[in-house]
Amino acid sequence: MTSGIPRVAVLLGRRLLLLVALLAAVFAATELLPGDAASATSDRGETAAGLAARRHLLGLDRPLPERFRDWITALPTGDLGTSARGQHVTDLLSAPFPNTLLLGGTALVLTVLLSLTLGCLAAARPGGPVDRIVDVTATVAFALPEFVVSVGLLLVFSLWTGWLPAATLTGADGGPADWTMLVMPVLALTLPQTGWNTRVVRAALADQAATPHVEAAVLDGLPAHRVLLRHALPGALPAVATGFATSTGMLLGGAVVVETLFNYPGIGTVLAGAVADRDTPVIAGVVACAAAVITGVLLLADLVRARTVGARP
Amino acid sequence: MDFTRRQMLLAGAALGSAALLTACQDGGGTASTGAGNQPRPGGTLRVGALGRASAITRDPHGNQGNESDYLVIALVYDTLTAPGAKSNTVGRLAASWTPSDDLRTWRFTLAKGAAFHDGTPVTADDVVWSLRRLRGTPAGAARLPGIQAGNITADGKDTVVLVSDYANAELPLLTRLSTFVLKKDTAGKDLAKAPGTGPFVLDWYRNGNARLVRNEHWHGGTVLLDAIEVTMFESPQAMANAVLAGQIDLASNAGAVAGRTAAARKDIQVVRRPDDMALPLVMRTSEGSPFADPRVREAFKLVVDRPAMVEQTLSGYGTVANDVLGTADPAYAKDLPQRARDLDKAKRLLKEADFDLGRTYELVTTEDVAGLAESATLFAAQAREAGIRVEVVKQESGTFYDRTWLKGDFYTNYWGTNDSVVFFASKTLVTGAGQNEANFSDKDFDAAYREVLATKDAAERGRKLRELQRIEHDRSGYLLWGMADGIDLAAAKVRGLPTLPGYGRVQLENAWLAR
């Protein structure tokens, strides 16, 4: 059996390679889109010579591999390059990225708490009324896109009742001016993911219920909640952790939609605009930040699984 | 999303006729009772403006992609001249201007008492430095066409002299939108905090959002508001929601859909700024295009049902147009006969021109601005009634500008600068113009254009301008069926709002809040 630290290193190395490949793909994909950053961000009045000058200024006249190499080698120093409009990408992301982490992180914590609670409640009495209600509700919640949830929340809690602010206004510090502005965006992200994860938890617990050690615990006459929390849940953790890790990606993806609808100042809105501008350094910068987070969470999930299931490189 | 970079880039300044402006102000739903009508100082106006975090620019001479950034810049810095109501060009930092007899040399005199926010008086040197800086940007040649950097000079402390490469009676028009004046030798790294001379002083700016406070000593008059807070919105929907929920007082350029939503609300004013955006269909006029024959172009102009287009694609927030661009120009030829639908004449013209009715014609469009794709679809349906088969092809914005714009035979487009007939003539109609979208080339038109630019006498120039518009109306490649209004939503207490189209929407220095 290999020791813990090298295995983490191997996992990390593999994820890093994947990240570089992903970023290369982002560069290539942006290149395939029609038009380029020089034309997308210029005034309509600009002459062909002016456009060529802009193209040169932005380095777009150099081959793609060269541009990628320059960008990726600067990445470890924390330099994400310069946007097509001349702003440092790190400056563009310095306020939005923590905001998205706050939004996504809160939504993830809520998702974890809610889906574990609901999943356990449902698994406590398989086939009982609670189980059936949770099952149906979770399926419906997961089937609803963030867009639909957001519009529903907006209508009910803002435009009809006026209880919560409809849009996020930004304060002088770059974050939401008031915490109530976070409520609806967080809920819009949490609800669908809770639906998904509740089903994962419920199914993993059902699998565990059929294992010999859980059956033995039941035959020993242990109370139901003790069997569930002490005997079934630990075994279900690898599957559950993977479910949550997957949700991280979907939360960040959903943030693009939710941030736009609630005017939340996060990287989702930066990304949407950057794609329209063909602004490769900005797109790659957002992807690098998001991928770093997802990689971190996936790594954690891997470690949880490795710890529970036993060493498996 | 119906909000794109080009809408923002192009929503140019324009001017509504005085009559339309008055009508618009009255129609704004402003409560007009008692003390609420007396302008009063004080209060903070919370403004929402469209913008994208990825497109943020702080450089006053940069490529402003965001309405929110332009709003902040236009309130902190002054341009030499500005869009106006009675004339399309009014003074701002320049109090007056006079041309030489050959219309090539223009002398601008700076406003008395103009000073930067730190108290330093503005000198002609500051203006010259700023204009040369603007001229030196990649888009400089398009922003100050015909004016070399070396031909921008100071004459004493308060006079700036611009010499054009050719006679240009409309030169002051060029100095309205991006000639923001900074202190001489402002370093690039200090741009974000550089003092301006405008009606408001920057308090803070953070990721597209900003707070501005009143400039007590503005040369242009008394500013009533204590402060303006600008919030950047990615989507018009979120911005409309914010004004409906009372989080902001003004949603700038919210669009027709938001206007329709808010129309039922008594506590919200729907401000219409006419002639905000032109949404023409472009027919390629050169050899090889199915529209090369002017009779075909005229037939298409007779096929479109203009009132139906305005009603259905703009939700009624617009006006019918007459195939001449620059509808808000005081010199716009209102006396040209209004073209109306005439299917019989259209069919006759098509027959005379031997137009092939057997094939299907592609009309390329985008969803860059609200109503654009809808206008293409509705036109296709109307054309069918004349026996013409039109198929609408929708392209993503980037693809459109790469492949179709300036090249295609038949496509939709939009323009935001609508207060100058000459602007369109120079940019899109004269032979060889940089953005001659329909590849229009007409000897009579070119001659009329040159005469307009070289005529000093206003009445005489007006006559020549009418001749230019007559030719454009008769045979250019533009089918301009209507003009979209600019729509702002405002809380009932907001008064003194801007009513000019295009960039005129940023003129918030006269706004005030009623009790």
Output the tens digit of pLDDT for each of chain A's 313 residues.
Answer: 445 567 778 878 888 898 899 999 999 998 888 778 887 777 665 667 777 888 888 888 888 999 999 999 998 898 888 888 878 899 889 888 999 999 999 999 999 999 999 999 998 888 889 999 999 999 999 899 888 999 999 999 998 898 999 999 988 887 888 899 999 999 999 999 999 999 999 999 988 888 888 888 888 888 888 888 888 888 888 889 889 988 988 898 888 889 989 999 888 888 888 888 889 999 999 999 988 888 888 888 888 887 776 644 3
Nearest CB to B241: which of A43, A167, A170? A167
**B149's tokens:** 């950097």
Would an 8 Å CB–CB cutoff place A269 in contact with chain B?
A: yes
Q: What is the C-alpha separation between B226 and A121, in angstroms, rounded?
A: 56
**A162 and B396 in contact by Cβ < 8 A?**
no
Is the model's pTM score more than 0.90? no
**B206 and A272 in contact by Cβ < 8 A?**
no
Nearest CB to B52: which of A44, A47, A273? A273
Would an 8 Å CB–CB cutoff place A265 in contact with chain B?
A: yes
Nearest CB to B63: which of A85, A162, A276? A85
As for the ipTM of the complex, it is: 0.79
A154: chain B residues, CB-CB within 8 Å: 241
DSSP element (H, E) containing B99: strand B94-99
Q: Using alpha carbons, select from A10, A7, A11 the residue that is nearest to residue A297.
A: A11
A172: chain B residues, CB-CB within 8 Å: 204, 206, 211
Q: What is the C-alpha separation between B366 and B372, in angstroms, rounded?
A: 7
B238: chain A residues, CB-CB within 8 Å: 166-167, 260-263
Query: In the prediction, which pLDDT does A44 show?
Result: 62
Q: Which of B5, B8, B54, B399 to mutate to test the interface with A (most CBs of A within 10 A)?
A: B54
Would an 8 Å CB–CB cutoff place B142 in contact with chain A?
A: yes
| Contacts with A, B 54-73, CB within 8 Å | 54-59, 62-63, 65
CA distance A6 to chain B (A): 40
B209: chain A residues, CB-CB within 8 Å: 169-170, 265
Would an 8 Å CB–CB cutoff place B10 in contact with chain A?
A: yes
**B247 and A167 in contact by Cβ < 8 A?**
yes
Q: What is the C-alpha separation between A69 and A72, in angstroms, rounded?
A: 5
Distance of CA B354 to the CA centre of its chain: 39
| Contacts with B, A 195-254, CB within 8 Å | none
**A86 and B62 in contact by Cβ < 8 A?**
yes
Chain B residue at shortest CA distance from A158: B245
B55: chain A residues, CB-CB within 8 Å: 41, 85, 273, 277
Q: Which of A33, A41, A44, A154 to mutate to test the interface with B (most CBs of B within 10 A)?
A: A44
**B62 and A85 in contact by Cβ < 8 A?**
yes
Would an 8 Å CB–CB cutoff place A174 in contact with chain B?
A: yes
CA distance B297 to chain A (A): 25
Encode burial over B412-446: b for 16+ CB neighbours within 10 A, e otherwise: bbbbbbbbbbbbbbbbbbbeebbbbbbbbebeebb
Q: What are phi and psi of B448, to 5 degrees?
A: -60, -40
**B142 and A50 in contact by Cβ < 8 A?**
yes
Nearest CB to A172: which of B53, B206, B398? B206
Return the number of other C-beta atoms located less than 10 Å from residue B121's C-beta. Answer: 13
Query: In the prediction, which pLDDT does B134 show?
Result: 95
The amino acid occupying position B502 is G
Render A235-301 in DSSP notation, one character per residue.
HHHHHHHHHHHHHHHHHHHHHHHHHHHHT--SHHHHHHHHHHTT-HHHHHHHHHHHHHHHHHHHHHH
**B53 and A154 in contact by Cβ < 8 A?**
no
The amino acid occupying position B62 is G
**B229's tokens:** 């807070």
**A265 and B6 in contact by Cβ < 8 A?**
no
Query: In the prediction, which pLDDT does A3 show?
Result: 54
Query: In the prediction, which pLDDT does B394 show?
Result: 95
B435: chain A residues, CB-CB within 8 Å: 44-45
Q: How far is CA A130 from CA A136, A191, B51, B82, in A?
A: 10, 18, 47, 68
pLDDT in tens, chain B (515 residues): 333 333 333 333 332 333 333 333 333 333 333 445 789 999 999 999 999 888 888 899 988 889 999 999 999 999 999 998 888 899 999 999 999 999 999 999 999 999 999 999 999 999 999 999 999 987 788 889 889 999 999 999 999 999 999 889 889 998 998 999 999 999 988 998 999 999 999 999 988 899 999 999 999 999 999 999 999 998 889 999 999 999 999 999 999 989 998 988 889 999 999 999 999 999 999 999 999 999 999 999 999 999 999 999 999 999 999 999 999 998 899 999 999 999 999 999 999 999 999 999 999 999 888 899 999 999 999 999 999 999 999 998 778 888 899 999 999 999 988 988 998 998 899 998 878 999 999 999 999 999 998 898 888 999 999 999 999 999 999 999 999 999 999 999 999 999 998 888 999 999 999 98
**B429's tokens:** 């109609």
Would an 8 Å CB–CB cutoff place A46 in contact with chain B?
A: yes
Would an 8 Å CB–CB cutoff place A167 in contact with chain B?
A: yes
